[in-house]
Structure 1
């Protein structure tokens, strides 16, 4: 299927290497990566690339498959111990992703199950069914809407979080931690930073009712009016009442279940041992100076891993099934429309 018809192979330059690593990070197969490269990044009128030659390219970059790595169960002990300090309650699916993204280990489900059966049998018994109350959410396509929300579960540490989500793809746009999440200018800055990095904005933004979102709503509306004068006089922000801003709430439940427990235990341990006193002004400033950059780096790493991980299949979901980052970048591959507005 991938015969190159005697055309020369494309040079393995920095740009091609970047995209190979990008799609490998999303855990696509060799065939899927080659399809994406030919579709978007290789000039097929000049170059040809077959599956065998592509595998050689991939291996030359140190991107080794699960079978080639041939990892034994005993080899997972130390990496799993390191990861369990941060993710004590993570299940098999999450731990497999953590091993791939943080330890550069490609492990099969069977190998990880054998490890957990031998070393973590108690965690396998803790899995319980959950009864979900489903709600319906509708989006026309990628960048039709961006939803944002705040999170105050770490208020006892003097820390507060904020997130932005692109709901059609499921991509987390930002996941920020600071000692405050009620400053309207700060929330607008998160939005501007994301628009600047992506070079585009959505049709509409959405948030809960609250004064902290006023600057974001006004800024986005002003930008939309600037790029499309026909929208003058309209509000390009959607206000949602309590419990109606569904997608960010789902994102927070994922953070609480998959990221928070280990780091929360570390912070609680520090408070209990008397290493710092959040009520003391000096301790508070030192705590912020030390822990906020560290936690932000960990949140960025987890967000990146989440965006490049394919979620579990859901038969109730009509939106595309796939890796959030790839759906966001290549909506046409998934039969979807991208409504992004390029920012001049």
Structure 2
């Protein structure tokens, strides 16, 4: 009720239109690939300590990156992904659009449609991939192997599962970037396959709007994030992996076994 009252006070016309089901979406325009990159965070696995962030090209709907790490809200981590992408593309877009986060609701309302570029992919990810992992980690909670309130558990989950999660995310990205997108009335961009639209804009009569950037400029600013999320625990895990000649897992079964091994080691040493 409090939120509803605030919305009526801040945006009475919008509330009135929505209540009468007369709300109209804005139109999305793009002059070509690399005009606008849309970045956003994905929190469906955040209760299990895995934070996902991604970026999509507004014109082609090509996913430029989707990364799993210990955070998707640290600006330095997002900057690392962005700069790596700029390095790979040998240039940057004319503009970027990002999640408004905790800004006031009027700004969020104005930018909501702009973020829908990547929200479509998040919906696709939820249907095709996320639900399985949510059920998997939920079973670990039921087995009392994991608690979202335990910092150690969260770090171990990331150490044992992030590489597997990232490999699967890369596969989903490949699937998305090669699937046909149908025409949508509210979008003034061509329909088609994202990879083809992005890499062959001349086929649709559009142009690449990338802004050239040198590799040296990018590397000067880039740095690697800590994916485990805690330097001390990261050092302990690294030492244990080398001392006991443990291998990084390739399957969920191996990941769960390693998780239980490391968890038992840390708990035994802390007693």
TM-score bracket for this pair, using the shorter chain length: 0.5 to 0.7
1:273 paired with 2:164, answer no
Classify 1:242/1:334 alpha carbon distance in 2 versus 1 (closer, same or farther; 3 Å): closer
- Specify the SS of the correspondent of 2:196: helix
Tell me the distance in 1 between the aligned counterparts of 2:142 and 2:62: 36
Picking from 112, 119, 133, the partner of 1:249 is: 119
- In structure 2, the partner of 1:329 is 199
- Specify the SS of the correspondent of 1:259: helix
Does the 8 Å CA contact 1:166/1:173 hold for their aligned counterparts?
yes
Picking from 42, 48, 51, the partner of 1:157 is: 48
Tell me the distance in 1 between the aligned counterparts of 2:26 and 2:141: 38
- Specify the SS of the correspondent of 2:192: coil
Q: Please say which structure displays the higher CA radius of gyration.
A: 1
1:169 paired with 2:60, answer yes
Classify 1:205/1:159 alpha carbon distance in 2 versus 1 (closer, same or farther; 3 Å): same
- In structure 2, the partner of 1:198 is 89
Tell me the distance in 2 between the aligned counterparts of 1:240 and 1:193: 30
Q: Cα deviation per residue 1:180-206 (whole Å; 9 max; x = unaligned)?
A: 112111111110011111112111111
Does the 8 Å CA contact 1:162/1:181 hold for their aligned counterparts?
yes
Aligned residue pairs total 187
Post-superposition offset of 1:135: 4.5
Does the 8 Å CA contact 1:208/1:241 hold for their aligned counterparts?
no
1:70-149 alignment runs, 5 A limit: 135-149=26-40
1:286 paired with 2:171, answer no
Cα RMSD between the aligned structures?
A: 2.6
Post-superposition offset of 1:210: 4.5
Does the 8 Å CA contact 2:68/2:165 hold for their aligned counterparts?
yes
Does the 8 Å CA contact 1:202/1:339 hold for their aligned counterparts?
yes
1:338 paired with 2:208, answer yes
- Specify the SS of the correspondent of 2:53: strand
- In structure 2, the partner of 1:298 is 168
Does the 8 Å CA contact 1:165/1:172 hold for their aligned counterparts?
yes
Unaligned runs of 5+ in 2: 1-22, 215-271
Post-superposition offset of 1:241: 4.5
Classify 1:183/1:240 alpha carbon distance in 2 versus 1 (closer, same or farther; 3 Å): farther
1:195-274 alignment runs, 5 A limit: 195-210=86-101, 241=110, 243-244=112-113, 245-274=115-144
Say which structure, 1 or 2, has more relative contact order (CA 8 Å, 6+ apart).
2
Classify 1:315/1:295 alpha carbon distance in 2 versus 1 (closer, same or farther; 3 Å): closer
Unaligned runs of 5+ in 1: 1-131, 213-237
Tell me the distance in 2 between the aligned counterparts of 1:241 and 1:163: 21
- Specify the SS of the correspondent of 2:183: coil
Picking from 179, 191, 198, the partner of 1:309 is: 179
Tell me the distance in 2 between the aligned counterparts of 1:307 and 1:192: 21
Q: Cα deviation per residue 1:240-268 (whole Å; 9 max; x = unaligned)?
A: 84524221222222222222112222221
Normalising by structure 1, we get a TM-score of 0.50
- In structure 2, the partner of 1:189 is 80
Post-superposition offset of 1:211: 8.5
Post-superposition offset of 1:280: 2.7
